[in-house]
């Protein structure tokens, strides 16, 4: 007697938020990095790099939080059923 186990995995609402943070964090960080580089090109009395650096760090943290939320926010469903008998060793599998 053989059994077949089928597993399905879906994101809950928490997992969907985590997926959004996982994707949005690096995009926001790239935008803040471009802002940071543009501020570095300005004269020192006009540049303000602290805001860009702070937002870059915040976007990095949101990426890590998104990873954790994607792991936590999953729902797994397992279905177990009896499957058909396997062919004996004397029979060919593909005929």
pLDDT digits (tens), the chain, 95 positions = 788 889 999 999 999 999 999 999 999 999 999 999 999 988 888 888 899 999 999 999 999 999 999 999 999 999 999 887 665 656 666 65
Give the predicted TM-score (pTM) of the model.
Answer: 0.71
Of 65, 89, 81, the residue nearest 14 (C-alpha): 65
Q: Would you call 8 helix, strand, or coil by DSSP?
A: strand
The answer to whether 80 touches 33, Cβ cutoff 8 Å, is: no
Rounded CA-CA distance 30/60 in Å is 10
């Amino acid at each position: 007697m053989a059994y077949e186990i089928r597993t399905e995995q879906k994101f809950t609402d928490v997992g969907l938020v985590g997926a959004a943070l996982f994707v949005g964090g690096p995009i926001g960080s790239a935008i803040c990095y471009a802002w940071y580089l543009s501020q570095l090109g300005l004269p020192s009395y006009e540049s303000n790099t602290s805001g860009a650096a702070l937002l870059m760090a915040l976007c990095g943290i949101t990426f890590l939080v998104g990873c954790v939320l994607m792991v936590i926010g999953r729902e797994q469903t397992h279905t177990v059923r009896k499957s058909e008998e396997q062919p004996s060793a004397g029979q060919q599998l593909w005929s």
